[in-house]
């Protein structure tokens, strides 16, 4: 147990879409519907899936920006599922979040240096000189030496993402939840941020929950990868393994269309039929059965559980 | 093949904003054969969309103005055409698919009306005939139950379906040239694969020429025959798709390809990055546009801009091949 920094058990997050007279939900979007996973110390877990699969909701629920509907979140051996706001502040010294959009996550009226100083102040660093010193150190770390006195609009997208990363690191966290950290950036800038994140991980011994729809980036970054589909984890395995031998029909299709450099035309691809069904009324039994070419009658009746089919390789499919 | 359908010669577009002049596209030339697909690749702000909008005559003027160049489509210079003449060409001979299928359709009209409008605008057909053609088009882009979909509104369709409708509208009059501006960027990967397959298939069926614009080299590799890589308003490398991927010559193209992790790479191998940031279009006036980020920039790169050099099968704007 002690080597796990985060453990999530049967996590569910429902959003009400219709409410009755008393404001109680009667119909729900089941964004995350019962998932289990863990992250070890110093590990990067990649979370992939298409839009609406619940990967961002998972990230936000884990860090308690959203309150889970059900389930348990155990962070560094402590159950944080029901902590109050005040108690959560202590948790946030150990766990931080980096969002996708570096344009929306910085206050345009604040110099980036003082935005980070504010974080330090809130977390109890009352001495001004000390804060200044720490900010300088952080900017050094993310490759923005001496740029503390600028406003966000003076930075490009990639530089802003560096500021956001510096802010996340301010409190010296152990786990960072990266929600599509490079998706909004140009290709040539993406590589810079990816390299920054990997070198920071090695230097500071961080763990990441790395959420992305870009399979190439996830493959590159992650030690293990979890594939989500309609609120469920359908497969979870070490990165090498899942990319070499994907087991779930959805993972197979998803990985086959992941554009591989230069391979272009003529590569064998599995083109899925149809589109992701609505998470309000997900299909009964296996959620993927409506698009699955191997689906049988049985798939509509029982929901598959995650089964172990190799070292650390779990798949939720009746074929196994 | 063999017949040239479009020739862009020395196209330059400036944006006049307040008292600044921003050269968004600067001396871009390329040509396109009948049935051929050209990929236009580059990062945000490199001028790829502005090039496309110039061809189809949808550039906002002001602030933008085409200051130089010719766009020859089927032997006629489109820049000499009047507004009315362009209206007749647009949608009929040249049409465009935009990135955002969510915002490109009119939310208050049915799908059927939006497609048949295009057909009736350009062809002398009755309403009934136009509707039949509409259903035929929807079948062509593989929308299930087209008879029902014609009565539906855009919000009732998913993103992938809407993009199919956009393709149906664009192809309704069997245009000679189709411009697809980031057609799959807003879509999920599995849906992206569906749409790319569809475009590929229709290309063969209708024998249209296509210009596909994307920031993702991988997407372009799926359908393009030739690729032009743009950087800061200029084409920096031009070659067929195979050569671009296997033997890229320009340092920028090489950088772009190396900056994306390959599917069998892991963290132990550090990603090659292109240092620095994309310059603003008006930032670099002298020398090679890529000089600030290039690893092999020499003295000559600082003050003289390289012309195109033929290197093997590639055309590259780089002094290293002088």
pLDDT tens-digit readout, A33-77: 999 999 999 999 999 988 888 888 999 999 999 999 999 999 999
The pLDDT value recorded for residue A42 is: 92
State the smallest CA–CA distance between residue B182 and chain A in angstroms. 14
**What's the pLDDT at B98?**
85
Interchain contact, A158 vs B277, CB within 8 Å: yes
Kindly identify which residue of chain B lies nearest to residue A254, measuring between CA atoms. B190
Query: Does A219 lie in the same domain as A135?
Result: no
How many Cα atoms occupy the beta-carbon half-sphere of A300 within 13 Å? 5
Kindly list the distances between the CA atom of residue B30 and the CA atoms of A22, A151, B10, B183, in Å, as whole numbers in the listed order.
Answer: 65, 41, 9, 21
Residue A177 shares a structural domain with residue A301: yes
What is the token pair recorded at B294? 């290039």
**pTM for the structure as a whole:** 0.83
Same domain for A189 and A134: no
Residue A102 lies in a domain: no
**Are A125 and A45 found together in one domain?**
no
pLDDT at res. A261: 46
DSSP 3-state of B174: coil
User: Which chain B residue has the Cα nearest residue A267?
Assistant: B222
Nearest CA in chain B to A157: B277
Query: Looking at the structure, do residues A138 and A229 belong to the same domain, yes or no?
Result: no
Asked if A195 and B158 come within 8 Å (Cβ–Cβ), the reply is no
User: Whole domain around residue A73: which residue ranges?
Assistant: 4-94+171-315
Yes or no: say if B248 and B311 are a contact pair by the CB < 8 Å rule. Answer: no
Confidence of residue A178 (pLDDT cuts 50, 70, 90): very high
Is 0.90 exceeded by the ipTM?
Answer: no
Where does a domain end: A126, A153, A169?
A169
Boundary residue ending a domain (A138, A154, A169) = A169
Confidence at residue B2, expressed as pLDDT on a 0 to 100 scale: 65
pLDDT bracket for residue A17 (50, 70, 90): confident
The secondary structure element, H or E, covering residue A95 is strand A95-98
Sole residue written with tokens 């062509």: B140
Please name the residue of chain B whose CA is at the shortest distance from the CA of residue A159.
B277
Strand bridging mode A44-48 / B226-231: unpaired
* Paired tokens of A238: 């070490």
Give A221's Cβ-side CA count (13 Å radius).
36
Contact call for B245 and A221, based on CB within 8 A? no
A198 touches chain B (CB under 8 A): yes
Does the beta carbon of A191 lie under 8 angstroms from any beta carbon of chain B?
yes
CATH number of the domain where residue A204 is located = 3.40.50.300
Query: By three-state DSSP, how is residue A244 classified?
Result: helix
Query: Which token pair is B53?
Result: 């909008």
Asked if residue A216 and residue A299 are part of one domain, the reply reads yes
Q: What values do phi and psi take at A138, rounded to 5?
A: -65, -40
* Secondary structure letter of residue A212 according to DSSP: -
A52 with A148, same domain: the answer is no
Find how far residue A292's CA is from the centre of its chain.
26
B140-144 own/partner pairs: CB under 8 Å, 24+ apart: B140/B168, B140/B171, B140/B202, B140/B205, B141/B165, B141/B167, B141/B168, B141/B171, B141/B198, B141/B202, B142/B198, B143/B168
| Residues in chain B, overall count | 322
Give the CB-side neighbour count of residue B23, counting CA atoms within 13 A. Answer: 18
Q: Are residues A34 and A153 in the same domain?
A: no
Q: How far is B307 from B316, CA to CA, in rounded Å?
A: 8
Burial of residue A76 (number of CB atoms within 10 Å: 0-12, 13-18, 19+): middle
Q: Which residues of A touch B272 (CB under 8 A)?
A: 191
A293 touches chain B (CB under 8 A): no
Q: How far is CA B86 from CA A125, B83, B95, B97, B101, in A?
A: 65, 5, 11, 17, 24
Give the β-pairing of B226-231 and B37-41. parallel
Residue where the block lists tokens 């790169």? B301
Percent of chain A with pLDDT over 70: 96
Residue A21 binned pLDDT confidence (cut-offs 50, 70, 90): confident
pLDDT in the model for residue A249? 92
Whether residue A247 is found in the same domain as residue A188: yes
- In the sheet that holds A25-40, the strands lie side by side as A25-40, A4-19, A70-75, A78-79
Cβ atoms of A231 and A283 within 8 Å: the answer is no
Q: Which pLDDT value is given to residue B204? A: 82
Q: List Cβ neighbours of A42 (8 Å cut-off, separation of 6 or more).
A: A201, A205, A206, A207
Quote the CA–CA distance of B221 and B235 in Å, as a whole number.
17
**How far is the alpha carbon of B217 from chain A, nearest alpha carbon, in Å?**
8
Say whether A240 sits in a helix, a strand or coil.
helix
For chain B, domain boundaries: 4-93+173-252
Segment A252-277 mean pLDDT? 70
Give yes or no: residues A177 and A281 share one domain.
yes
**A294 with A145, same domain?**
no
Does CATH place domain B4-93+173-252 in 3.40.605.10?
Answer: no
Q: What is the rounded CA–CA span in Å between residue A191 and residue B277?
A: 12
Contacts of B257 in chain A (CB under 8 A): 261-262
Looking at the complex, report in whole angstroms how far the Cα of residue B199 sits from the nearest Cα belonging to chain A. Answer: 13
The Cα–Cα gap between B284 and B23 comes to 10
Convert the pLDDT of each residue in A199-236 to its tens digit: 999 999 999 999 998 888 898 899 999 999 999 999 99
**Minimum CA–CA partner of A192 in chain B:** B273
Q: A298 with A228, same domain?
A: yes
Most A CBs within 10 A among B185, B273, B275, B294, hence the mutation to make, goes to B273
Count up the domains in chain A and report the number: 2
Q: Which bin fits B182, alpha (ψ -120 to 50), beta or left (φ > 0)?
A: left
Residue-by-residue pLDDT tens, chain B, 322 positions: 468 889 999 999 988 888 888 888 888 999 898 889 999 998 888 888 899 999 988 888 888 888 889 999 988 888 888 888 888 888 888 999 888 777 788 889 999 999 998 898 888 888 888 899 899 888 888 888 888 888 999 888 887 888 888 888 888 888 889 999 888 877 777 878 888 888 888 888 888 899 999 888 888 888 889 999 998 888 999 988 888 888 888 889 888 888 888 777 777 788 888 888 788 777 777 888 888 888 888 888 888 888 888 887 888 888 887 7
Q: Are B143 and B166 in contact (CB under 8 A)?
A: no
């Amino acid at each position: 147990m002690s080597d796990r920094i985060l453990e999530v058990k049967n996590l569910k997050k429902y959003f009400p879409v219709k409410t009755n007279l008393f404001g109680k939900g009667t119909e729900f979007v089941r964004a995350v519907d019962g998932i289990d996973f863990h992250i070890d110390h110093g590990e990067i877990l990649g979370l992939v899936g298409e839009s609406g699969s619940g990967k961002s909701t998972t990230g936000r629920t884990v860090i308690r920006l959203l309150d889970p509907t059900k389930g348990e979140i155990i962070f560094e051996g402590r159950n944080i599922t029901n902590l109050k706001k005040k108690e959560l502040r202590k948790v946030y010294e150990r766990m931080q979040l980096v969002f996708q959009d570096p344009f929306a996550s910085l206050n345009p009226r604040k110099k980036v240096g003082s935005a980070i100083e504010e974080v330090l102040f809130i977390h109890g660093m009352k001495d001004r000189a000390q804060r200044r010193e720490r900010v300088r150190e952080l900017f050094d770390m993310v490759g923005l030496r001496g740029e503390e006195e600028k406003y966000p609009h003076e930075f490009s997208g990639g530089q802003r993402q560096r500021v956001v990363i510096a802010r996340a690191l301010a409190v010296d966290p152990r786990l960072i939840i990266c929600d599509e950290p490079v998706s909004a950036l140009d290709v040539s800038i993406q590589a810079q941020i990816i390299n920054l994140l990997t070198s920071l991980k090695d230097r500071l011994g961080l763990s990441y929950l790395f959420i992305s729809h870009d399979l190439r980036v996830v493959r590159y970054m992650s030690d293990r990868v979890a594939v989500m589909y309609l609120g469920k984890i359908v497969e979870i395995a070490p990165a090498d393994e899942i990319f070499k031998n994907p087991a779930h029909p959805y993972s197979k299709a998803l990985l086959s269309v992941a554009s591989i450099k230069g391979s272009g035309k003529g590569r064998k691809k599995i083109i899925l039929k149809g589109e992701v069904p609505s998470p309000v009324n997900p299909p009964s039994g296996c959620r993927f059965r409506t698009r699955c070419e191997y689906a049988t009658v049985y798939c509509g009746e029982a929901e598959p559980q995650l089964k172990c089919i190799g070292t650390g390789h779990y798949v939720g499919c009746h074929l196994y | 093949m063999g017949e040239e359908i479009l020739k862009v010669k020395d196209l330059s577009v400036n944006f006049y904003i307040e008292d600044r002049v921003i050269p968004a596209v600067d001396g871009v030339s390329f040509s396109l054969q009948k049935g051929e697909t050209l990929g236009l690749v580059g990062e945000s702000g490199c001028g790829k969309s502005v090039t496309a909008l110039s061809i189809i005559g949808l550039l906002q003027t002001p602030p933008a103005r085409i200051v130089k160049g010719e766009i020859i489509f089927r032997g006629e210079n489109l820049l000499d055409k009047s507004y009315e003449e362009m209206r007749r060409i647009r949608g009929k001979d040249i049409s465009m698919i935009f990135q955002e299928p969510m915002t490109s359709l009119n939310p208050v009209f049915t799908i059927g009306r939006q497609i048949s409008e295009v057909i009736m605008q350009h062809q002398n057909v009755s309403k009934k005939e136009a509707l039949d053609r509409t259903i035929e088009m929807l079948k062509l882009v593989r929308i299930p139950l087209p008879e029902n979909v014609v009565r539906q509104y855009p919000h009732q369709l998913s993103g992938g379906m809407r993009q199919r409708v956009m393709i149906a509208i664009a192809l309704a009059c069997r245009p000679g040239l189709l411009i697809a501006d980031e057609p799959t960027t807003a879509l999920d990967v599995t849906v992206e694969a569906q749409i790319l397959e569809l475009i590929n298939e229709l290309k063969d069926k209708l024998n249209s020429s296509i210009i596909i614009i994307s920031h993702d080299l991988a997407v372009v590799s799926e359908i393009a025959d030739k690729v032009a890589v743009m950087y800061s308003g200029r084409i920096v490398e031009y070659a067929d798709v195979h050569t671009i991927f296997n033997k890229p010559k320009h340092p920028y193209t090489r950088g772009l390809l190396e900056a994306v992790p390959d599917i069998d790479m892991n963290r132990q191998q550090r990603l090659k990055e292109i240092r620095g940031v994309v310059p603003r279009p008006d930032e670099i006036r002298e020398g090679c546009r890529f000089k600030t980020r290039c690893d092999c920039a020499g003295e000559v790169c600082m003050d003289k801009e390289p012309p195109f050099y033929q290197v093997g099968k590639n055309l590259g704007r780089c002094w290293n091949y002088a």
